[in-house]
Amino acid sequence: MSTSTHTVSLHRVLRSPPERVYRAFLDPAALCKWLPPNGYTCTVHELDARVGGVFKMSFTQFSSGQGHSFGGTYLDLQPGELLRYTDVFDDPGPPGQMITTVRLSAVSCGTELHVTQEGIPGVIPPEACMLGWQDSLRLLALLVEELPGG
């Protein structure tokens, strides 16, 4: 079994204030709307949005019905600016602990978003993880960006 890990980093600018983007990472209904990549549904089983608090959720592939669950602990929460949390799969297959850091900065047209996920198990190709995050961030933009006249 490989113990190698990967890191992916993504950057986006969203037409939304940092506070709304931040809230989308901590609201269970919002997470279910944007976090699962294309083809998956999400259930949030637990979410205690405070430093030291834990979350537990599962993704289910809609076509096959197969899924996986995971959870973690919030390491740092600074409203409108920073989220840092661990992720661990419940299935011992993909070993180790991932750490995701989300940095938010107010810019002239909304929010600059930087996501770094470290410690991705070597059995998960980094390009697959990158595609999943790209799907998710597209859905995040659709959720948090203002509708014309809204």
Residue range 37-91, pLDDT digits in tens = 889 999 999 999 999 999 999 999 999 999 989 999 999 999 999 999 999 888 7
- Can you give the pTM of this predicted structure? 0.91
* Residue that has been written with the tokens 């294309």 in this structure: 38
Per-residue pLDDT at 11: 97
User: In order of start, what are the domains of the chain with their CATH numbers?
Assistant: 5-144 (3.30.530.20)
pLDDT(1) > 50: no
| CB-based contact 145:124 (threshold 8 Å) | no
Report the side by side order of strands in the sheet with 98-107: 5-14, 110-121, 98-107, 82-89, 67-78, 54-61, 40-47
For residue range 94-115, list pLDDT tens digits in order. Answer: 667 999 999 999 999 999 999 9
User: pLDDT category, 20, cuts 50, 70, 90?
Assistant: very high
Q: How far apart are the C-alpha atoms of 82 and 18, rounded to whole Å? A: 10
Q: How far apart are the C-alpha atoms of 34 and 57, rounded to whole Å? A: 13
pLDDT(150) > 70: no
Per-residue pLDDT at 96: 78
pLDDT(142) > 60: yes
Per-residue pLDDT at 110: 96
Q: What's the whole-number mean pLDDT along residues 22-48?
A: 96
Per-residue pLDDT at 89: 85
C-alpha R_g of the chain? 15
Q: What's the whole-number mean pLDDT along residues 18-39?
A: 96
Per-residue pLDDT at 148: 63
For residue range 112-132, list pLDDT tens digits in order. Answer: 999 999 999 888 899 999 999
| CB-based contact 41:62 (threshold 8 Å) | yes
Pull the structure tokens for residue 56: 């537990």
